[in-house]
Amino acid sequence: MSTTIVVTSRNDGYGGNLELRGSHALNTMIEKYDEVIYVDWNSPNDDSLINNLTLKGKGNLRHIQVKKSDIEKINPNLLELPIVEVLGRNIGIRRAKSDWIVSSNIDIMPDALDEEKVDKNTFYTVARVNVPVSFFQSVDKDFFSYCKRNITKFEQAHIIQNEEWAGQYNPWSLVVCCGDYQLAHKSLWYKMKGFEESMIYRDCADTNVMKKGTIYGDGSQILDLDVFHLDHSGHELKVGGKPKFNSWDDYVVNFESTENTDEWGFVDYDFYEEVI
């Protein structure tokens, strides 16, 4: 068996220290996982974030680049958005070669997965551990090992136990920021058809896919795994100067089945790809 981990981002400096966070994250993934897929979404001037990271490549990192010219062909309306994470994730998931597939983020350092401890019909997430900026700015060599040794110094994300969350009933997310590590067997990802591709704005895409794990699989669980999140600032997704959000009611409360087509993840489109 083998495991692929998929990340999508762009070269826009999001959250501060993006190049440092991205280097730590991808280098950890390269070391711990059989295959790493980084999908770069429409970086300014087609200058992929990969070009600005310090990576220790060993031939298992696949860099897929979604350029402005690709989006013009796929759907020009998407150009008004800086990034469409659900599409970037699905592009990577659909092209993953492994038995197990993780969807993660550019600021995550995950430990290796023990494939013997997971069930192919269950969808998993992890309660991440938050690492303050001061730590990853001051520690360079063996940073993942440093975090493992000092894990008790950091705060773990809150586990949600069928309680009210942000004023809305949410028994699906399981943990705060459930999207930082979402794992399923390839067969389950394909039943679900990945993330909902109409969820082009911010909010609840990760909760939606957790609910899909209960619809198409045997439910969702929290996986006991050390997953470190490198802290950063954030900002809203704005279109035309106004914040845009996916509908909680449509995509979570009242969601019953996927509307993705069999071509989800643009499976027939030939994006630029290189191996690092």
Give the DSSP letter of residue 148: H
Do the domain assignments include residue 88? yes
Q: Which segments of the chain have a pLDDT < 70?
A: 140, 162-167, 235-238
pLDDT value, residue 13: 81
CATH of the domain at 193: 3.90.550.10
pLDDT value, residue 96: 98
Give the residue among 205, 250, 228, 183 at the shortest CA–CA distance from 85.
Answer: 205
- Parent domain of 206: 3-268
pLDDT tens readout for residues 212-252: 999 999 999 999 999 999 987 776 666 777 888 999 999 99
Indicate the residue type of 205.
A
Do the domain assignments include residue 221? yes
pLDDT value, residue 164: 55
Torsion of CA 188, 193, 197, 201, to 10 degrees: -10
pLDDT value, residue 231: 85
Q: pTM for this structure?
A: 0.95
Do the domain assignments include residue 255? yes
Do the domain assignments include residue 274? no
Do the domain assignments include residue 276? no
CA–CA dist 142, 255 (Å, integer): 43
Do the domain assignments include residue 275? no
Helix (H, G, I), strand (E, B) or coil at 151: helix
| Domains identified in the chain, total number | 1
pLDDT value, residue 235: 63
CA–CA dist 247, 245 (Å, integer): 6
Q: Taking the CB of residue 252, how many other CB atoms lie within 10 A of it?
A: 21
Do the domain assignments include residue 273? no
pLDDT value, residue 162: 61
pLDDT value, residue 126: 97
Q: Is 45 exposed, middle or buried (0-12, 13-18, 19+ CB in 10 A)?
A: exposed
Strand pairing report for 100-104 and 181-185 = antiparallel
Backbone phi and psi for residue 118, each to the nearest 5 degrees, phi listed first: -125, 155
pLDDT value, residue 167: 62
